[in-house]
Amino acid sequence: MAQIATVNYHIHKPQRQAFVLDADGIVGNLISPELASTQVTVRDVRTSKAGVSFERTSVGFASFPTSVASFAGNDWQDAYDAELTKLLGDEMGAQEVIVFDHTLRVDDPNADRAPARNVHSDYSVRGAEKRLIDILGEDKAADWAKGHFAFVNVWRPVGAPINSAPLGFIRPASVAKQDWILLDLIYPSRKGQIMGIAANPHHDWLYMSKMTPDDVAFFNIFDNRGLPSIAHSALDMSEDPDNHTIRRSIESRTLVRYAA
């Protein structure tokens, strides 16, 4: 079944554009490039024959309950990291997994991290290469770069099923090379690069409806052997207009190493 959602595409400009996070030293303060609000048709992979798999479309969905009862504080991280390592090993054949970042998002204007409402993927080639060194150090990064590695994001609802602002994805085969826009990502203590996406009527948008805390989406955000990075964004839409549950989610960024 198809739905209509609103997304915010990036806009081609002659100058380099940037996001500034925690601007002016204020946690959660985000300065964003200009975005273009656009309505798109989104197909539900739960009910349609969308042919989605990690190998074919750079995103997979799985039922994978967690033992973590609360993501407050830090005591849950070791147990959750172990679960993600098992998930990526089982689903993708990852031989080694390093979980290096967790972000809790709440769809509230006062939250430290709200859902990302710009169509993007998390790394450019240069940004991924720099992040590899940041995580591993130059010598170990050089060793990993000789083989097959990737950055993979794992996303899960927290507390309640997702009713509004679900996570949507663009099938990579429907994205043209010229749709991608290089963007700087400026943190207080480091800089990175991501890729934004400009509007294209041929984009094939996908999502899974009514994801629960037992469901996960795992998706490719960089692969040094050529699996496409998948563009994604929160979708401004509602499954049930009478349900006013606030969207809460956790995304975990991982570095994975495949067998040679």
- What is the side-by-side strand order in the sheet with 30-31? 2-10, 35-44, 205-207, 167-170, 232-234, 120-121, 191-197, 180-186, 17-21, 30-31
How far is residue 59's CA from residue 56's CA, in Å, rounded to a whole number?
Answer: 8
E strand segments, the chain: 2-10, 17-21, 30-31, 35-44, 59-63, 96-106, 120-121, 149-157, 167-170, 180-186, 191-197, 205-207, 215-223, 232-234, 248-257
For 187-202, the pLDDT digits (tens) are 888 888 899 999 999 9
Q: Is the pLDDT of residue 144 over 70?
A: yes
Q: What is the pLDDT of residue 240?
A: 85
Alpha helices in 37-76 (DSSP H): 54-57
Name the CA dihedral angle for 185, 254, 217, 249, rounded to a multiple of 10 degrees: -60
Over range 169-182, report the average pLDDT.
Answer: 97
Q: Is the pLDDT of residue 47 over 70?
A: yes
How far is residue 172's CA from residue 184's CA, in Å, rounded to a whole number?
Answer: 22
How far is residue 165's CA from residue 141's CA, in Å, rounded to a whole number?
Answer: 36
Over range 224-241, report the average pLDDT.
Answer: 94
Q: Is the pLDDT of residue 146 over 90?
A: yes
Q: What is the pLDDT of residue 87?
A: 98
For 106-136, the pLDDT digits (tens) are 999 888 889 999 999 999 999 899 999 999 9
How far is residue 17's CA from residue 32's CA, in Å, rounded to a whole number?
Answer: 9
What residues pair up with 169 in beta bridges, in sequence order? 206, 232
SS3 177: helix
Q: What is the pLDDT of residue 19?
A: 87
Helix (H) or strand (E) holding 131: helix 125-136
For 62-108, the pLDDT digits (tens) are 999 999 999 999 999 999 999 999 999 999 999 999 999 999 999 99
Q: What is the pLDDT of residue 23?
A: 81
> What are the residue ranges spanned by the domains of the chain?
2-257
